[in-house]
Amino acid sequence: MAAITIAFEVDSDRLGSYTDEHLAQLWHIGQANPAPFGDAAACNFAELVGREVIRRWLAQVSPALWTHQASHVAAKTEWRA
């Protein structure tokens, strides 16, 4: 089989509208991009996709609400080993 070139055109302004499956594919495309290290367009695209992945993940994760409380300060200073 002869070598082929496959190009992808992505509207980065629409990342929020793509399905999770499509976004995952875009993540791989962004990382496999053959652009030189430090290429501004490649780096910006990869960062935008990564931020959308993180945004979606955080939307599904409950925050830790009670990890640090004012009452913990008193408890820490009273505790002795």
Ranges in the chain, pLDDT < 50? none
H-type alpha helices, 1-81: 20-32, 40-59, 70-78
What pLDDT does residue 65 have?
84
What pLDDT does residue 19 have?
97
What pLDDT does residue 73 have?
85
Q: What global pTM score does this model have?
A: 0.72
> Among candidates 7, 41, 6, 49, which has minimal Cα distance to 24?
49
What pLDDT does residue 75 have?
72
